[in-house]
Amino acid sequence: MQHIFVFLASCFCGLAFGASNPTSVQIGGLFPRGADQEYSAFRLGIFQHNSHELRLTPHVDNLEVANSFAITNAFCSQFSRGVYAIFGFYDKKSVNTLTSFCGTLHVSFITPSFPADGLHQFVIQMRPDLKGALLSLIEYYQWDKFAYLYDSDRGLSVLQAVLDAAAENKWQVTAINVGNIKDERKDEAYRSLFQDLENKKERQVILDCERDKVNDIMEQVTSDTVSGFMVFLIS
C-alpha cells in the first residue's frame, strides 16, 4: 500500500507544484481508530516522499468513519487548511456524505475502502471492483450451489451482484455474515458453521472477507474438526 501511496502522492505533488510552485503540499488523512497498519503505510509513504525537495505536510484525523457528522467536521477542517487531496477510509453510512463533499469542493479522495457504487469523479479507488471477476469465475467453474461468506460492506455489495446473477442463472446461494463472530468464540463458531455446511453438503464456498478473518477461517477448515472436502474461492 505504501508504494501506491508514494506514486499517487507524487502525482498530486507534481500538479500542485506546476500550479503554484509551493515548497510543501498539504494533504489530509481520515483513518478509522484501530487502522494501525494502514496508518503506518500512510506515514511511511510520507517519510519516503519527504526525502525529495517538495515535502508533504499531513493533516490526519482518527475518527469513527461510520459517523457522517464526524466525517463532515474532519473534512471541512482539513479543507480549511488547504489540502490538495485526502487519503483515507469511508463506511456505507458516510460514503454519500464524503463523495458529495469531494464533488462540490473538488478535493480528491484516495481510498482502499470497498469501491462505491456509481462513478465519482474525485474518488480514486485503490481496491479494484471484483464483482465482474468473481461472477466470471463462478460461471467458469459452473458453480450452481455454493455458500457465500462475507464480513464487510464490500462483501455485502458484491453479494448483491451475486444474488442478482443467481436469480438469472438459477443458482442456489447460502449467504452467511461472519462479521459479527467474536474473537473469543471464533473457533467454536466456525466449527459449528462448517459442520452445518457439511451436513447440508455445501462443498463449494466463497470467502469474501478481510485477510485476518480469512486466516481464521482457513485455520479452522484445515484442522481435524472439519473432515469434509470443500472447494474455496477467496475474493
CATH number where 214 lies? 3.40.50.2300
| Three cell numbers, residue 186 | 471464533
Q: What is the pLDDT of residue 79?
A: 95
**156 plus 224 within the same structural domain:** yes
d(CA 56, CA 13) in angstroms, rounded, equals 8
Task: Give one word for 148, left, alpha or beta, with left for phi > 0 and alpha for psi -120 to 50.
Answer: beta
Residues 38 and 66 in one domain: yes
Q: Are residues 27 and 101 in the same domain?
A: yes
82, 104, 125: which is the final residue of a domain? 125
> So what's the pLDDT on residue 19?
47
**Structural domain count, the chain:** 2
Q: Residue 142: which region, alpha, beta or left (left: phi > 0; alpha: psi -120 to 50)?
A: left
Last residue of a domain, one of 110, 125, 140: 125
Q: To 10 degrees, the CA torsion angle through 64, 68, 100, 122?
A: 0
* Domain co-membership, 79 together with 144: no
Alpha-helix residue ranges (DSSP H) falling in 61-109: 68-80, 95-105
Asked whether residue 111 falls in the same domain as residue 28, the answer is yes
Domain enclosing residue 107, as ranges: 23-125
Predicted structure pTM score: 0.69
Residue 172 lies in a domain: yes
Question: For 183, which DSSP code?
Answer: G
Same domain, residue pair 145 and 87: no
Question: Which residue, of 125, 154, 186, is where some domain finishes?
Answer: 125
**Same domain for 151 and 86?**
no
116/156 same-domain check: no
Query: Would 151 be classed as within a structural domain?
Result: yes
Say if 58 falls within a structural domain.
yes
pLDDT at 210: 79
- Per the DSSP assignment, residues forming a β-bridge with 62 are 31
Same domain, 141 and 205: yes
Greatest CA separation for the chain? 66
Per residue in 150-200, pLDDT (tens digit) is: 987 666 778 889 999 999 999 999 999 988 887 778 888 888 888 898 888
Given a contact cutoff of 8 angstroms between Cβ atoms, the answer to whether 71 and 63 are in contact is: yes
pLDDT averages per 10-residue partition of the chain, 235 residues: 51 49 83 88 88 86 92 95 92 87 93 77 86 92 94 76 95 91 83 88 88 84 65 77
d(CA 55, CA 48): 10
Look up residue 125 and give its amino acid: Q
User: Do 121 and 134 have their domain in common?
Assistant: no
In a domain, 16, yes or no: no
Same domain assignment for residues 121 and 136? no
Residue 215 lies inside a defined structural domain of this protein: yes
pLDDT of residue 18: 44
- Cell triple for 12: 498530486
Q: Is 87 part of a structural domain of the chain?
A: yes
